[in-house]
Amino acid sequence: MATAGVPGRFYRCACFCSENLYVARYGLHVRFRDEAQLRRDYGPILRSRGCVDPKDFEELLEEALLEELENFERSDLPKGRPNTMNNYGVLLHELGLDEPLVTPLRERFLQPLLALLYPEWGGARLDSHRAFVVKYAPGEDRELGCHYDNAELTLNVALGKTFTGGALYFGGLFQAPSALARPLEVEHVVGQGVLHRGGQLHGARALGSGERWNLVVWLRASTVRNHLCPMCLREPELVEDAGFGDGFTREEPDTVDVCALT
Ligand SMILES: O=C(O)CCC(=O)C(=O)O
Ligand SMILES: [Fe+2]
- Give the model's pLDDT for residue 18: 47
Residue 100 sits at φ, ψ, to 5 deg, of: -75, -25
Q: What is the pTM of this model?
A: 0.82
Say if ligand 1 is within 6 A of residue 152 CB. Answer: no
- Mean pLDDT confidence for 72-91: 84
Residue nearest to atom 3 of ligand 1 (CA): 214
CA of 214 to the centre of ligand 1 (A): 8
Ligand that comes closest to the CA of residue 131: 1
Residues whose CB falls within 8 Å of the CB of residue 123, separated by 6 or more in sequence, listed in order: 111, 113, 114, 115, 116, 117, 153, 221
| pLDDT at residue 25 is higher than 70 | no
pLDDT digits (tens, 9 = 90+) for 194-226: 888 888 888 999 999 999 999 999 999 999 999
pLDDT band at 261 (very low <50, low <70, confident <90, very high): very low
- Give the model's pLDDT for residue 21: 43
Q: Where are the domains of the chain?
A: 11-253
How many C-beta neighbours within 10 Å does residue 32 have?
12
Say if ligand 1 is within 6 A of residue 144 CB. Answer: yes
Say if ligand 1 is within 6 A of residue 21 CB. Answer: yes
Say if ligand 1 is within 6 A of residue 246 CB. Answer: no
Q: How far apart are the first and last CA of the chain?
A: 37
Evaluate the CA torsion angle 90, 156, 109, 242 in order and state its sign. Answer: negative
β-bridge mates for residue 197, sequence order: 153
Residue 59 contacts residue 226 (beta carbons within 8 Å): no
Q: Of the candidates 205, 207, 72, 195, which has an alpha carbon nearest to the alpha carbon of residue 133?
A: 72
**CATH assignment, 11-253:** 2.60.120.10
Name the more confident of 200 and 180. 200
pLDDT band at 190 (very low <50, low <70, confident <90, very high): confident
Residue 2 contacts residue 93 (beta carbons within 8 Å): yes
The CA distances from residue 72 to 5, 62, 141, 176, in Å, are 22, 17, 18, 41
Residue nearest to atom 2 of ligand 1 (CA): 204
Of 50-54, 102-106, 126-130, least confident by mean pLDDT is 50-54
| pLDDT at residue 12 is higher than 70 | yes
Residue 237 and residue 153: Cα distance in Å, rounded?
A: 22
What single-letter amino acid sits at 90? V
In whole numbers, what is the pLDDT of the chain averaged over residues?
Answer: 78
| pLDDT at residue 14 is higher than 80 | no
Q: What percent of the chain is modeled with pLDDT above 70?
A: 71
Which atom from ligand 1 is nearest to the alpha carbon of 143? 1
- Mean pLDDT confidence for 93-117: 87
Ligand that comes closest to the CA of residue 156: 1
pLDDT digits (tens, 9 = 90+) for 157-168: 888 899 999 999
